Amino acid sequence: MKKTSTRLADGRELIYYDLSDDTVRDATDRRPLDATVTTSEIRRDPLLGDSVAVASHRQGRTYHPPADECPLCPSEGERLSEIPDSSYDVVVFENRFPSLAGDSGRCEVVCFTSDHDASFADLSEQQARLVLEAWTDRTSELSHLPAVEQVFCFENRGAEIGVTLQHPHGQIYAYPFTTPRTALMLRQVAAHKEATGGENLFDAVLERELGQERVVLEGEHWAAFVPYAAHWPYEVHLYPRRRVPDLLALDEAARTEFPQVYLELLRRFDRIFGTGEPPTPYIAAWHQAPFGTLEEFDGVTRDDFALHLELFTIRRTSGKLKFLAGSESGMNVFINDVPPERAAERLREVASS
């Protein structure tokens, strides 16, 4: 992998990740852009104890542009985009309309491929491995920023999810706090550790799940299963078999196998509802240990956390979506219409031939 860092016309950082070590990246951003102005601030809810990012400047962000005006495609001739070069393998750049900025953190865009009509599932194993290396590198770099406490790599896919740019891409949020979902996990880990005299909750969950009918697929170094209490109609958790706190700690064997397992998982997601259906909308979310202090979680260290990816779709059946209604949105109590065992069975049925 070759990494080349440059700057866009408004001062934002852009980084090329190339498969070939002899690739030269010297194209400049020719757009007449003014310096980026953001209004992000973090406000803490005193009743719930969580935080909300207020970012009014995002109202003007790019919304469903035609394909020939996609800002994530390479620049070509006089059609100038966010990527100055005429081609790329993987690119990461600072979001022009970030939810988090400055003392409030940082937001980045990850372009998986220059092919506008592709998806992550269309990538080769070599390309998917390069994306993994980019996620890992950005996790490392962002963790050293003074304002950053947790790094979140994720992909939103599909208009039903709210994606406004159809080019295959994901995002990275670098938060100045530990996110509420991670905090809940850490509290459960602490309570389980205390109650069992030191047992790790993630290890216990993985061991229990691998013995059940909810397993979707297994490799030597990774395992994927539908969790016992899945919130979403089709939801899969992907774990490395050796517990590590973050992407940085994955060994070479796990990195090598990851593209094989993850690409197969994504391709199965696209076959859940049969042929003729639009591509399955999904969210793919990496959960990594926070880089800040964990003093509030009694007796828990970063090494007690388990890196894992959660992949889920909001489509519950052909042509129908799972909406978050009163119980889910008002009380955070999910109601799942698809039994997890049936979801796992379906995901095994649609395995590649």
The residues annotated as belonging to the active site are 169
Question: What is the DSSP code string of 310-342?
Answer: EEEESEEETTEE----IIIIIH-----SS-HHH
Count Cβ atoms within 10 A of the Cβ of residue 131 and give its class: 0-12 exposed, 13-18 middle, 19 or more buried. Answer: buried
* Angle, alpha carbons 197-210-126 (nearest 5°): 115
Question: What is the DSSP code string of 29-74?
Answer: --S-PPPP----EEEE-TTT--EEEE-GGGGGS--S--GGG-TTSB
CA-CA distance, 288 to 244, in Å (whole number)? 9
**Token output for 202:** 């993630």
Of the CA atoms within 13 Å of residue 18, those in its CB half-sphere come to: 14
CA-CA distance, 29 to 80, in Å (whole number)? 8
Are 187 and 300 in contact by the 8 Å Cβ rule? The answer is: no
How many residues does the structure list for the chain?
A: 353
**Token output for 95:** 């979001």
What distances in angstroms separate CA 143 from CA 1, 16, 247, 290, one per listed residue?
21, 19, 12, 9
3-state secondary structure at position 239: strand
Strand partners, 173: 107, 152
